[in-house]
Chains A and B, each alone.
Chain A
Amino acid sequence: MARAAYDDVVLAAPVTVPYVRYSIRGAHWFLGRALARLIAAAKIPKTRIDGLAAASFTLAPDTAVGLTQHLGLTLRWLDHVPMGGASAIVSIRRAARAVQGGDAEIVACIAGDTNHTDSFRRNTAAFSQFARDAVYPYGSAGPNANFALLTAYYMRTYGARREDFGKLCVAQRNNALKNPLALFKQKLTLDQYLNARLIADPLRLYDCVMPCAGAEGFLVMPRQTAERLGLRFARLLGAVERHNAFPDDPVQYRAGWALDRDQLYAQAGVGPEEIDFVEAYDDYPVINVLQLEDLGFCGKGQGPEFIRANTFEVEGTFPLNTSGGQLSVGQAGAAGGHLGVVEAIRQLTGQTLGARVADARRGLASGFGMINYDRGICCGAVVLAAA
């Protein structure tokens, strides 16, 4: 059965609560600032928000439920999305159907986390039952270890070189240098990348995302509402999500995008060749490559060749992670997946903080999250179009 289209569901009001490496604030502060920025950007009273989809790792013991009272929201639709880097995509899918069905009119999709000096260790130590039982006791390296294993396997199997991953990181840094909110403000050379401190072989320092505090948010609403409010918006053409795909692969070299990309492009009515820019989930460069392959921009195993053939910078060929991505902006916990969606909305509505892709009409944003044990479980992608 063909999935119903997302006619006239739009995304608007992309906001970012500026990132900081460490904060003494709680997660509620960052999510509260995100909501405040959303209503300021949309020029609506708080009471107009009637739906909320929230994602955060450091909100405990609260969930989205606690946020309603904490932030004084009276809602008729509420979702807590504990899917890490896939939360933005999943929030969009949930919110879009709610808006289409009239269960909510304006859904705030927010994600954010605080980062105290010991937060990351605490979060990884108790990330999941499988991680606590069967990963953390092996060196307590958190996702660095998982992605090192994935990267080592990918390099060995498909002939990728450190220089290939380095090229992506350098290109993203160049994109970030134009984004005033990026935490990394220095140019990164390939030499610096290759010779950085070893973290988990073959990963070195600039392969690893930097945890920080911050928040991202956007609104999902019917097109008519956006027009009435005078908001610039991006249209939702297609969206997919998949959890625990390919469970029998000994090492994750592909994820759910490979199962769902045909449906994504069929629903969107556009193919990968018609996408003007991509916001991929990039906590480590290898996962960028998996997305480029699984989302059909190149074949499986052709990632290295594809990297060598493109520049990935905003003004170059195949603009990728145009705000700098998490690798150069920072990873504000669960906001990591929202970063790409927010940047995609900015690109398609002409509100970029940094450089804008010339004539950007269609963008793809994808999410990936939750290294529950040996691989990322949740993934998804959306195709957005300019109004």
Chain B
Amino acid sequence: MSRMRQDANVAEPRPLRRKNPVLRTRRPTLPPSARSRIALGLTAAAARGRLELQVCQDCDAVQYPAREACRACLSDRLVWRLQSGRGELSAETVLHAAQELFFRERLPWRIGLVHLDAGADVIAYLHEKVSAAPCRVRVEAALDRAGQAVLVAVPDQGRSDLSDDAKLREMTCDPRGRKVLVTDGKSPLGQAAVRALAAAGADLVWVGEAEPWKKAAGFEGLRALPQATIVPLDVTDSRSVRELAGEIGAKVDILVNTADCHRTSAVAARRGVEIAQLEMDINYFGLLRLAQEFAPPLKARAADGSASATAWVNVLSVFALSNYPPHGTYSASKAAALSLSQALRAELRPAGVRVINLFPGPIDDDWDQLVLPPKITPAAVAAALVEALKGSVEDVYPGEVAQDWCARYLDNPKVLERELTEEAQ
């Protein structure tokens, strides 16, 4: 039976053809990733979905490309600041020849020169909805398949998703037409993720189920989704992970790791390490077991046509950034998972498979009962997950609390640690 569906919720669906299995599987190529260290500030902001350029703290001149000294006053006080990206497309071209294999395999490419209202001139990819030069545009930062920031100009007015553009779609991990594994579909968050991915046009969602004897409210309802297929998966059991990978590993395009164990445990609140070990077994070793079995087939299929393997998503926690003492051992397990995800990201990068980390704040569930609002709903985290896949980011902080923690962390991690310690008392 063909699994191709035309989902009514999806605007302008493009046919996504899976590769003929008889043909050679193409090896992934990447756009050039070499950058100077100073230019990586653009990538750091793009990873969070922001366009930031250096701004001179002495004369306000906006700089591009990244510099070590202000082009106007030579000050070295250049700070990355959020930009509107608005400007005028001065000139454009369509490239029909390229030197790097990645671009050669995907010709033609439309690029242009944009004069930002802020005063800098940038070379950017042009979204297919951008009209002919000259015209008003808005420049956004995106991550290319090498995980490096590139600039993309979209029309000044209205919404233009990267995934609406046949070529720029590759800078996203759009779940439409793809096969997704959600490692734990039982939790409220897992269920919300399955529903959101199905609504976003995923071709098939494998829903991992551990401990099938345990009933979970709402879980049975997932069986009614035509896209959902429930599969046994216990991330604490190496054999379970290996068996599932053997069965579906070569078909998974996106892996969403929602498996999570959350016990509210301060360090000295109870004796013994069993609870902390359980948290680590799911949150850290679970990720490691999944990575060992599913990362190799994901890498192997990263260039497999328009529905290639494309992303690995970890639902972490904002507690991974800095320990929240009332949830001390949980925070530690999520910090361990964050660290491991960086290694996984490095290993998947040569194939162009993106690792996306979600750092939600406290979720409105039983384990965060005593955390004061605002709290984020599982559905909101799931929506942020889908948005992250359809966009071009690596790190997502969904919800107000997560945004707040992230801002405090970026401002000064030691101050945040101190604040969290105070809150705990």
Q: Do A and B actually bind?
A: yes
- Chain B min CB distance to A70 (Å): 29
Beta-carbon nearest neighbor of A199 in chain B: B97
A156 to B133, CA, bound (A): 9
Which of the residues B33, B71, B92, B109 comes within 8 Å of A139, measured between beta carbons? B109
Which of the residues A133, A137, A141, A247 comes within 8 Å of B97, measured between beta carbons? A141
Most buried by A among B33, B36, B109, B123: B123
Answer yes or no: B199 CB below 8 A from chain A CBs: no
B94 touches A201 (CB 8 A): yes
Which of the residues A144, A149, A247 comes within 8 Å of B112, measured between beta carbons? A149
Beta-carbon nearest neighbor of B33 in chain A: A137
Answer yes or no: B111 CB below 8 A from chain A CBs: yes
A126 to B36, CA, bound (A): 11
Answer yes or no: B91 CB below 8 A from chain A CBs: yes
Q: A142-B99, A149-B112 are in contact. Are A134 and B91 (CB under 8 A)?
A: no
Contacts of B65 in A (CB 8 A): 129-130, 133-134, 373
Contacts of B97 in A (CB 8 A): 141, 144, 199-200
**Closest 7 A-B residue pairs measured CB to CB?**
A148-B93, A134-B65, A140-B100, A133-B39, A153-B91, A250-B115, A121-B99
Q: A135-B123, A152-B133 are in contact. Are A250 and B98 (CB under 8 A)?
A: no
Answer yes or no: A368 CB below 8 A from chain B CBs: no
A–B complex contacts, Cβ < 8 Å, 27 sampled: A121-B99, A121-B100, A125-B32, A125-B99, A130-B65, A133-B35, A133-B65, A134-B64, A134-B65, A136-B32, A139-B98, A140-B98, A140-B100, A140-B102, A141-B103, A148-B93, A148-B95, A149-B93, A149-B113, A152-B91, A153-B90, A200-B93, A200-B95, A201-B94, A247-B71, A251-B113, A373-B65
A135 to B32, CA, bound (A): 10
Binding site for B on A (CB under 8 A): 120-121, 124-126, 129-130, 132-142, 144-145, 148-150, 152-153, 156, 197-203, 247, 250-251, 373-374
A126 to B99, CA, bound (A): 13
Q: On chain B, which size bracket covers the interface?
A: 35 or more
In B74-117, the 8 Å CB interface with A consists of 88, 90-100, 102-103, 109, 111-113, 115
Answer yes or no: B364 CB below 8 A from chain A CBs: no
Contacts of A139 in B (CB 8 A): 95, 98, 103, 109, 111
Additional 6 contacts, C-beta under 8 A, given A125-B34, A134-B66, A137-B33 = A133-B39, A133-B66, A140-B32, A148-B95, A149-B112, A201-B93
- Chain A min CB distance to B291 (Å): 28
Answer yes or no: B314 CB below 8 A from chain A CBs: no
A199 to B133, CA, bound (A): 19
Which of the residues B32, B88, B90, B95 comes within 8 Å of A145, measured between beta carbons? B95
B64 touches A138 (CB 8 A): no
Contacts of A200 in B (CB 8 A): 93-97
- Chain A min CB distance to B189 (Å): 36
A251 touches B90 (CB 8 A): yes
B96 touches A199 (CB 8 A): yes
Contacts of A197 in B (CB 8 A): 96
1/0 contact string of B260-296 vs chain A (CB within 8 Å): 0000000000000000000000000000000000000
Which of the residues A121, A144, A199, A374 comes within 8 Å of B113, measured between beta carbons? A374
Which of the residues B36, B121, B134, B150 comes within 8 Å of A138, measured between beta carbons? B150
1/0 contact string of B138-178 vs chain A (CB within 8 Å): 00000010001010000000000000000000000000000
B99 touches A132 (CB 8 A): no
Beta-carbon nearest neighbor of A251 in chain B: B90
Beta-carbon nearest neighbor of A248 in chain B: B119
Answer yes or no: B373 CB below 8 A from chain A CBs: no
A201 to B133, CA, bound (A): 13
Which of the residues A140, A202, A251 comes within 8 Å of B103, measured between beta carbons? A140
A135 to B65, CA, bound (A): 9
Beta-carbon nearest neighbor of A128 in chain B: B65
- Chain B min CB distance to A118 (Å): 9
A133 touches B99 (CB 8 A): no
Answer yes or no: B122 CB below 8 A from chain A CBs: yes
- Chain A min CB distance to B92 (Å): 6
A149 to B90, CA, bound (A): 9
Q: A132-B35, A132-B36, A152-B93 are in contact. Are A141 and B113 (CB under 8 A)?
A: no
Contacts of A250 in B (CB 8 A): 88, 90, 113, 115, 121
Answer yes or no: B206 CB below 8 A from chain A CBs: no
- Chain A min CB distance to B12 (Å): 25
- Chain B min CB distance to A196 (Å): 11
A360 to B95, CA, bound (A): 41
A134 touches B123 (CB 8 A): yes
Contacts of B90 in A (CB 8 A): 149, 153, 250-251
Q: A138-B150, A250-B121 are in contact. Are A201 and B113 (CB under 8 A)?
A: no
A250 to B124, CA, bound (A): 14
A374 touches B99 (CB 8 A): no
Contacts of B226 in A (CB 8 A): none
Which of the residues B35, B66, B99 comes within 8 Å of A141, measured between beta carbons? B99
B148 touches A137 (CB 8 A): yes
A202 to B150, CA, bound (A): 24
Contacts of B31 in A (CB 8 A): 137, 140
Which of the residues A133, A152, A203 comes within 8 Å of B36, measured between beta carbons? A133
Which of the residues A133, A136, A149 comes within 8 Å of B92, measured between beta carbons? A149
- Chain A min CB distance to B269 (Å): 50
A142 to B100, CA, bound (A): 10
B95 touches A137 (CB 8 A): no
